[in-house]
Chain A
Amino acid sequence: MTFTKRAAAKLLLGTALAASMGTSAFADGHAKTKVGFVYVGPIGDGGWTFEHDKGRLAVEKEFGDSVETVFVESVAEGPDSERVMTQMALDGAELIFTTSFGYMDPTINVAKKFPNVKFEHATGYKRADNVSTYSARFYEGRAIQGHIAGSMTKSNIIGYIGSYPIPEVIRGINSAFIHARKVNPDVQFKIVWAYTWFDPAKEADAAKVLIEQGADVVLQHTDSTAPQAAAQEAGNVITFGQASDMGQYAPFPRVSSIIDDWAPYYIARVQAVKDGTWSSTDTWDGIGAGMVGIGEISDAVPADVKEQALALKASLADGSYHAFTGPLNKQDGTAFLADGETADDGTLAGMNFYVEGIEGDIPQ
């Protein structure tokens, strides 16, 4: 019993300590604002975590000596992530970015214990007074990929490496498929589920399987460059960079890319903490706000296709076109969107069905 009380008291003390360090930062202006980042992969993954870390470095560059950033990489989702977050909060972090969907419940748990520390959870849906969520509308980038893929495929088979069958990934498959079909009604998607975000060996195998099945375009929703290397080896297959530009494979096989650009958001949120104006928000930005970048479309893409792709990008950016615009049916033939209707964010956020024309089932 005494142990409980003591531990609880100390934990509270820790919280108070973290909080008081926070206020002192405002008071004298010399103390640094500590910002923590929890990463699911290694910072050298060349994809997802690499881009988050670029966001962290941008924060350091922007604020210089008035900010100190700390990070831990390759943190398993579950109790390990909870411990790492707690440790950062105890060490005086005022703002902690948790950059994987699987950190959702741990983030909420730790946030309860540290009401004065702000948390930012990427791609989740649970919020609290001190927990914001943020994500990017990657599906807008997928529309452009679908357009280029549908225009360029000769075998009419497009391979897709899925990570996990979650709404985020399914949304991307649908968006790419819709826009590939628009320019090429004969196009077929072959989808392989890798059940990983980052595993070069598995991703390479998946790419090879797809190429053997006749795919001459491989889209990936996993983070390593292994599929790019597999495509390069095959010689006649095009790919797109995922999460990061993967420009080392340009101009061929990599013909374009989706780039996650977290830097503006991270800088804005750190600024908000320093100003004392931070509040819990739900951010879902796309090409328009600059959170989703489209890597340079290489010369391997025919000039007219490139022009159309850039026009599509412009219309997505200014909001004149939505990537999910009706008429669209679900895979089972039931109506999804009427002519001219666009999908609302709620439907998109929980998307768990394929659109009409995609073969195969979402793993259950």
Chain B
Amino acid sequence: MIALVKRPEASRAFSLAAPLLAVLATMVFGGLLFMALGKDPFEAITTIFWEPLFGEFAFFYRPQLLIKGAPLVLIAIGLSLGFKAGIWNIGAEGQYIMGALFGAGVGLAFYPIESAFIFPLMVIAGAFGGWIWAMIPAILRVKFGTNEILVSLMLVYVAEQFLASMSLGLLKNPEGFGFPGSRNLQQYASTHNADLIAGSGMHWGVVAAFIAVIFAYVLLARHRLGFAIRVTGDAPRAAAFSGVNPARLVLFCLGMSGLLAGLAGMFEVSGPAGQVTIDFNVGYGFTAIIVAFLGRLHPVGILFAGGLMALTYIGGDIAQSKMGLPAAAIQVFQGMLLFFLLAFDLFTNYRLKFGRTETA
């Protein structure tokens, strides 16, 4: 008989080892999948994990890792604050879109005036856009006890409709021959979130992501609010006794995650993407949920998890083009990562017991 027995205390070692084991298991089973598809599994795994970091064209891929990873980390940091406290913002994708729309809207309103004040205003507008969109589920929960998971998720679809409407209407490029999509912010110097050092991939969004990691670390480790977040998640009743105000915590956690998602959207639209288009959002808000958990809801963990996810995306595309692996296989591979993480996560709180089980 094999039985699952709850550990008296969560295993710290396993908590740290689980992500590594998950990556390892993903490599093994992903390799088997690739082998079943008739591809060399070792070549596939090295293409995905090695090529972007140390391959022939790593000078190009390394900056791309920053570009791809920054929005994931920025959003995931915000989400992790809420997740720790049991506040579930599933709608970061919508907040990301609204941040981009607010930011781009403010920037384009100034067109074609060139000024150093425009970009900071866009940053503020982007943060505000994400924050206000997250405030809707926050206030509804605090005032009327609605479920923030549903409300925030549904608002993603509302935001997508806004995005389509803006691309086709208010923000449409007047010189775009009737095609949808805004002016390209990359071609308007005051709004362009360019690489701080050309070709390095280091745009303001990457800087913001690093700052967010440090900020979250300090908040959780040193600040009273961070303590309130942790204790609410671990023991809600104890939190209530220790004077944590749950309503304020909901407003803070949802607001902060919305704000960071909004910033991510704003930095993306003014930098790598350049344009408000109908298909601007590519799922960062949802992938960030995986990143947050893969990183154990710990700021530093999230930093690595964001990098790892970015790596599988970039490496996955390389494997597609170099080895002819189908996109679906790469997506299964990424799915495995989360699956194995959740599976190994079980052993943080439980252990296997072999032998006879006694019935109480």
Which A residues are closer than 8 A to B by beta carbons?
A: 1, 3-4, 6-8, 10-11, 14, 36, 42-43, 70-80, 82-84, 86-88, 90-91, 101-102, 105, 109, 125, 164-167, 195, 349-352, 363-364
A residues within 8 A CB of B60?
10-11, 14, 86-87, 90
Contacts of A87 in B (CB 8 A): 57, 60-61, 317-318, 321
The winner among A8, A105, A109 for most chain B CB atoms within 10 A is: A105
Distance between Cα atoms of A164 and B165 in the complex (Å): 11
Chain B nearest Cβ from A92, distance in angstroms = 11
Task: Tally the A-B contacts, defined by beta carbons under 8 Å.
Answer: 120
What are 13 of the A-B contact pairs (CB < 8 Å)?
A: A7-B198, A42-B327, A42-B328, A78-B277, A79-B67, A79-B273, A80-B313, A87-B321, A90-B57, A102-B279, A105-B275, A363-B168, A364-B168
Q: Complex Cα distance A7/B201, Å?
A: 11
**Beyond A87-B61, A165-B168: 11 further Cβ-contacts under 8 Å?**
A4-B200, A11-B60, A36-B321, A70-B322, A72-B317, A79-B67, A83-B68, A83-B314, A166-B180, A167-B178, A351-B178
Residues of B within 8 A of A86 (CB): 60
Q: Which residues from chain B sit less than 8 Å from chain A, CB to CB?
A: 56-57, 59-61, 63-64, 67-68, 164-165, 168-169, 177-180, 184, 186, 197-200, 268, 272-275, 277-280, 282, 313-314, 317-318, 320-322, 324, 326-328
Tell me which residues across on chain A come within 8 A of B180, comparing CB atoms: 164-166
Assess A77 versus B199: contact at CB under 8 Å? Given A11-B59, A14-B57, A87-B321: no
Q: Could you tell me if B327 and A72 are in contact, using CB atoms closer than 8 angstroms?
A: yes
A84 touches B277 (CB 8 A): no
Of the candidates A73, A101, A167, the one whose C-beta lies within 8 Å of that of B327 is: A73
Instruction: From B61, B184, B198, B278, name the one whose CB has the most chain A CB atoms within 10 angstroms.
Output: B278
Contact B279–A364 (Cβ < 8 Å): no
Q: Are A364 and B320 in contact (CB under 8 A)?
A: no
- What A residues does B318 contact at CB under 8 A? 87
Complex CA–CA separation, A349 to B67 (angstroms): 34
Shortest Cβ gap from A97 to chain B (Å): 13
Say yes or no: B200 contacts A3, CB within 8 Å.
Answer: yes
Residues of A within 8 A of B279 (CB): 76-78, 102
A75 partner, pick from B61, B68, B168, B317, beta carbons under 8 A: B317
Complex A-B, nearest 7 residue pairs according to Cβ-Cβ distance, in ascending order: A79-B272, A352-B178, A7-B199, A364-B169, A76-B282, A350-B177, A74-B327
Which chain A residues lie closer than 8 Å to B67 at the CB level?
79, 83
Q: How far is the CA of A264 from the CA of B274 in the complex (A)?
A: 34
Bound together, the chains give a CA A125 to CA B60 distance in angstroms of 28
A165 to B59, CA, bound (A): 40
* B282 pairs with A78, CB closer than 8 A: yes
Residue pair A166, B322 in contact (C-beta under 8 Å): no
Nearest chain A residue, comparing its CB with the CB of B320: A72
Chain B residues closer than 8 Å to A165, beta-carbon distance: 168, 180
Residues of B within 8 A of A74 (CB): 327
Residue pair A84, B184 in contact (C-beta under 8 Å): no
A36 to B324, CA, bound (A): 12
How far, in whole Å, are A6 and B200 apart by their CA atoms in the complex?
Answer: 10
A157 to B177, CA, bound (A): 31
Q: What is the bound-complex CA distance between A83 and B310, given in angstroms? A: 12
Contact B326 A73 (CB under 8 A): yes
B60 to chain A, nearest CB (A): 6
| CB contact under 8 A between A3 and B197, given known A79-B272, A84-B321 | yes
Task: List chain B residues, Cβ under 8 A from A36.
Answer: 321
Question: What's the Cα separation between A243 and B268 when bound, in Å?
Answer: 33
User: Is A105 a contact partner of B274 (Cβ separation < 8 A)?
Assistant: yes
- The answer to whether residues A78 and B59 also contact, given A101-B179, A167-B179 and a CB cut-off of 8 A, is no
B325 CB to closest chain A CB (Å) equals 10
What residue in chain A is nearest B51 (Cβ atoms)? A87
Find the A residue at minimum CB distance from B269. A78
Given the known interface contacts A86-B60, A87-B57, the answer about A4 and B178 at a Cβ–Cβ threshold of 8 Å is: no
Do B59 and A91 touch across chains, with their CB atoms under 8 A apart? Answer: no
CA distance A70 to B200 in the complex (A): 27
A72-B320, A78-B282, A79-B272 known; A7 and B200 CB under 8 Å?
yes
CB distance from A99 to the nearest CB of B (A): 14
